[in-house]
Every structure is written in structure tokens, then in C-alpha cells.
Amino acid sequence: MRFMLMSRADQHSEAGEFPTSEVMAEMGAFMEEITKAGVLISAEGLLPSAGGSRITLSGGKLTVTDGPFPDTIANFAIVNVASKAEAIEWASRWARLFGELECEVRLISEMTDIPSEVAAASNG
């Protein structure tokens, strides 16, 4: 099962501040461990939302809004684990590296999650 682990941005990440060298060293060790465990698919940090844009399509009208945004993501990882509980355990360990961090764990939709009639329509 693939899950996306997402950490919420805070005033530090939105200011473009990076973690301390101690936290970066702990994060490096954690990333090595999660990689050796065969769990990690991808992990990335995002730059502040002030440099981003949101695109909204509503009523046929496309709107582009430049950041910053009040509720956004700072980092994400994609993991392949056996259960939601295992994803939560990895996310909890990731959060502890920072002392204070809000994370969200979401199951990634697979083709098998899509109803067969919808999947058939998408295949042309």
C-alpha cells in the first residue's frame, strides 16, 4: 500500500528557514534507515508557498492566485508499507525529528480502487 506523508508548513518553512544542522543530520540518518527498510519511494521538501501559485477552475473560469497560502504543505514522502498503522509509525518518527510538526497520512489511490466501469471508460 502506498501512502503520502505530508508535513504542514509553519512560520519557519514559509520563511525559507532550513532545520538546524543537528536536525538535518538526524533526518539524514532517518532517510537512510527508511530507504534501507525498502519503504521509501520518494521524499522532497517544498520551497515557501510565496513562490507558488494555485490554479482554480470554477464556472468555466480559470483563476491563478499567487502565494503565499495560509494552509499548505512543506514536505512530503511517499512510502510503500503493509498497513496504515505502519505509515503512521514512519510519519510519527519523521515528525519527532522536528520536535513540533503536523503530518497528514493519506492512502494513494490505485487503479484497483477505481470502479471497473469508470476505469473502462478511461481506456477509450
pTM: predicted TM-score of the whole model, two decimal places: 0.83
The string of DSSP letters for 85-115 reads HHHHHHHHHHHHTTSS--EEEEEPP-GGGS-
The residue whose grid cell reads 477552475 is 57
Looking at the chain, the number of H-run helices and the number of E-run strands are 4, 6
pLDDT at 101: 82
32-90 tens-digit pLDDT: 999 999 999 999 999 999 999 999 999 999 999 999 998 999 999 999 999 999 999 99
CA angle 93, 99, 105 (to 5 degrees): 45
96-109 tens-digit pLDDT: 988 778 899 999 98
Structural domains in the chain plus CATH codes: 2-110 (3.30.70.1060)
CA angle 88, 89, 94 (to 5 degrees): 95
pLDDT at 111: 72
